[in-house]
Structure 1
Amino acid sequence: MWIWERLFLIALVAVLPDLALSQPLQRWPERTVRLISPSSPGGSPDIVARLFAEKLSVRWKVGVIVENRPGADGMIAIQAVLGATDGHTLLATHSGAVTVTPAIRKLPYNEEDLRPLSTAAIDFLAVAVPATSSVRSLADLIAAAREKPGALNWYAAPGGPVMVFGEFVRNNRLDMVFVPYKAGSEAVRDLSESRIQVSLVPLATALPLAQAGRLRLIAITNPEAAPIAPDVPTALGAGHPELALQGFLGFFAPKSMPDFVRQQISGEIQAVANDPEIHSRLGKVGMIARGSTPGYYAQYLDEQRRHWDRIARSQKIVPAD
């Protein structure tokens, strides 16, 4: 019996290092989880990140905090996630940060180092004008811009929105002036006070002022009307396919995170997306909760990258540093 006991002890000692290494991963998360958002407070990614953080904190029984890292078309937030070494840092972002940004900027990191976990919500985007404006449709906007060349100022959120609204301006041969802002919330505030005349921004950003009677929504860029604003026509339905734009908000993790941990996190995010309370709360700010598998999200992102590459080439955009 002694020799068998000795062999057993040798075998046990051999597997102990592997067991020790696997233990921390099986208990993920072990500490506070950070969700990095590329938007300013109040932007669509920030809203989604905070709602999901609240639910994930309960499910994981650890704190889940949101950090805002706006700027550089999402690259600052992505670098923060890829530079983290704690194994507990995720990205909560609009898809444009990983689809549009590579088409217009030279990246200081490898795209392959970031892996999709799950979609979280469908984001609606709206063309809005001041409530005091006489413009009530895209046709009115075109007429007003042609009547007063160079008199109308416009803003669109960075990435996809600014590219598609720029396409709308060019296709219709409009003389309008683009005004840049650091944050979409600042542009929407100025729009409500008629300092600028039209904006293309996330519906979640414009909706509170529209409901307060300070803005008028004249078009939705998504293929389908927004459930919370069913009377606002789609740009496609108004005959302007160049303004068609729909974005997913979703979660990402570094490639360095073990596959089974990413799968576990994806399952938790999908469960939160299916929570009736999350559906209700996102619906009130003009979004639709929608989770997905990593594979589905990856396929969608690949299609979108090809789409934005084509648009960037058609607009002769050369990726900038």
Structure 2
Amino acid sequence: MMFIRSRRHLLQAGACGIATLAVPAWAQLAEGRPITLVVPYSPGGTGDILGRALAHELAAVTGNACVVENRGGAGGNVGAERVVHARPDGLTLLFTATSLASNPSLMKTMNFDPQKDLTAIAGPITLQNIVMVNNSLPIHSIQELVDYAKANPGALSFGSSGIGSSNHLAAELFKIEAGVDMLHIPYKSAGEVIPSLISGTTQVMFDLMPSSLPHVQNNTVRALAVTGATRSPLFPDLPTVAEAGVPNYQFSAWFGVFAPSATPPAMVEQLNAAINKAMAAPALSERLMQLGAEAQINPPDGFARYFKGEIDRWEQVIRDSGISLEK
């Protein structure tokens, strides 16, 4: 597995062969027709921003137009099901996130099985969350957050963009690892949660870095830590949650590309090569770094193993926390 972490590492990776992956003439594979990248989330969010950036580079790599189609709903399932039933011709792809791994454990019924009806193509692109609190709280560190929550069980509330969203799962994992009780208040989107945090309607939020960056930089909320395994280059002074007092905690949201399960293996390899080349492009790598994200260059089976590990992980977290989309 290769992590693209900086421009220097990107150039080194390219020298090692990413740029020379065998990508056959796409016109021969796709007959010059446009590629549709289904993003199962609303326009303007993190998934949409990343999906459009990838689509731009994929068009440059393949020579085909790459159109983003936003199909939000049901925690990403509406867009995913659109791809499940698409022709397996490499022209309709899914750019989805952590919810594809968590939904099978959150929902009693689904119209498709992500592992059987979709095939992993390329990814993941990972992003850290930032743990933020309302400025009026007497909390300036993760340890103080844990202490306050333990002294006042249920008094703190955290907002999320919906049950099963990545910011919800990040907080539930924190509750388990820190042994604290906080009240979950789900909203329809992350755009609604930030104002509630600033106003004090909610007190805590675990938000994806792209949407939280301006609020942290403008000091309208107080950042305590990042949720990944290492500190973020964007906020080198912010500790990780693990080093700040909850040693077993680690969370990164992710995005990746999938295709219908019947896509021929040779085409899967061709798509993987093209998307990996797009993800390693300097312009996209730079954009990802600006958003606090990083791409991992994997073969299809490597990403499939990662995805299976995420399904297993969230099955346990959801079981332990007792959360569900359906009562």
TM-score (norm 2): 0.81
Q: For residue 97 of structure 1, what is the amino acid of its counterpart?
A: S
In structure 2, which of residues 304, 309, 321 is the aligned counterpart of residue 303 of structure 1? 309
Match of 1:119 in 2: 123
Give the stretch that moved more between structures: 129-138 or 296-305.
Answer: 129-138
Greater length-normalized contact order (CA 8 Å, ≥ 6 residues apart): 2
Partner of residue 92 from structure 1, selected from 95, 100, 108: 95
Range 73-82 or range 155-164, more displaced: 155-164
Distance across 2 between alignment mates of 1:43 and 1:110: 25
Match of 1:163?
A: 169
Residue in 2 that maps onto 1:104 = 106
Q: Which amino acid aligns with 1:225?
A: R
1:72 matched to which residue of 2? 74
Deviations 1:131-173 (A, max 9, x none): 4544221222234445655443212353454234224335656
1:231 aligns with 2:237: yes
Worse-matched range after superposition: 311-320 or 125-134: 311-320
Distance across 1 between alignment mates of 2:314 and 2:286:
32
Larger Rg, first or second structure (1 or 2): 1
Over the residues paired in the alignment, what is the CA RMSD in angstroms? Answer: 2.7
Letter in 2 for 1:287: A
Deviation sequence 1:167-225 (CA, Å, 0-9, x none): 43356564532111111222123323333211112111111221222222212111111
1:167–1:242 CA contact under 8 A, matched in 2? no
Q: How far apart are the structure 1 equivalents of 2:121 and 2:268?
A: 7
Alpha-carbon spacing, 1:41–1:217, altered in 2? closer, same or farther (3 Å): farther
Find the counterpart in structure 2 of residue 247 from structure 1. Answer: 253
Query: Which of residues 282, 288, 292 in structure 1 aligns to 2:294?
Result: 288
What is the distance in 1 between the residues matched to 2:176 and 2:267? 46
TM-score normalized by the length of structure 1: 0.82
8 Å Cα contact 1:131/1:214 also seen in 2: yes
Q: 1:234-256, CA deviations, whole angstroms, 9 ceiling, x for partnerless residues?
A: 11112314542123321111112
Q: Is the 8 A contact 2:130 2:207 kept in 1?
A: yes
Partner residue, 1:312: 318
Counterparts of 1:242 and 1:165 in 2: how far apart (Å)?
A: 14
Correspondences of 1:1-321 after superposition (within 5 Å): 26-28=28-30, 30-85=32-87, 87=89, 88-94=91-97, 96-105=98-107, 106-111=109-114, 112-146=116-150, 150-157=154-161, 158-169=164-175, 174-241=180-247, 243-316=249-322, 320=326
For residues 86 and 314 of structure 1, what CA distance do their matches in structure 2 show?
37
* Matched-pair contact (CA < 8 Å) for 1:221–1:243: yes
SS in 1 for 2:83: helix
Contact preservation (8 Å) 2:142, 2:224: yes
Report the residue type matching 1:130 in the other structure.
Answer: N
SS of the aligned residue for 1:41 comes to coil
Q: Is the 8 A contact 2:159 2:204 kept in 1?
A: yes
Mean CA deviation greater in 143-152 or 203-212: 143-152
Q: Which runs of 5+ in 1 are unaligned?
A: 1-22
Distance 2:73 2:135 in 1: 29
Alpha-carbon distance in structure 1 between the residues aligned to 2:201 and 2:272: 43
Q: 1:170/1:287 Cα in 2 relative to 1: closer, same or farther (>3 Å)?
A: closer
Q: Is the 8 A contact 2:41 2:70 kept in 1?
A: yes
Gaps of 5+ in 2: 1-24
Aligned identity (percent) is 27
